[in-house]
Amino acid sequence: MAEPLIKKELEGEPCLEVIGAGWGRTGTNSVKIALEKLLDGPSYHMFECAVRPDFQKWIDAYAGKPDWKGIFTHPDGDRFYKATVDYPACGMYK
């Protein structure tokens, strides 16, 4: 089984604050937008996979070798995603 998606902060590393475990086409983009406003930071959505080279990282995560920091560090390098909604993250929320 893969390492849990969210754990306690380790050594000062940021962690996700919210995991939207709903499946796609259930209003996840609306939830993403709302969370970005509420949490004052970016939320990860399946759309991110289209603009970032994350597919291999997700394949590795599902194989039990996750790189959560690599997946959830924002492309600008200065921020960490505060929430995630939609697939592929919703399949690993436990």
Question: What are the extents of the domains in the chain?
Answer: 24-79
Phi, psi of 32, rounded to the nearest 5 degrees: -55, -50
Q: How many residues does the chain have?
A: 94
pLDDT, residue 1, reads 45
In which residue are the tokens 């690599």 written? Answer: 70
66 closest CA partner among 24, 25, 23, 15: 15
User: What pLDDT, on a 0 to 100 scale, did the predictor assign at position 83?
Assistant: 94
Backbone angles phi, psi at 43, to 5 degrees: -120, 140
What pTM does this model have? Answer: 0.81
Q: pLDDT by residue (tens digit) across 23-74?
A: 778 899 999 999 999 999 999 999 888 888 888 999 999 999 988 888 999 8
pLDDT of residue 7: 54
Per-residue pLDDT, averaged over 72-80, amounts to: 88
Nearest to 5 by CA among 90, 77, 79, 81: 90
Specify the pLDDT at position 81: 93
Please tell me the predicted confidence (pLDDT) of residue 65.
92
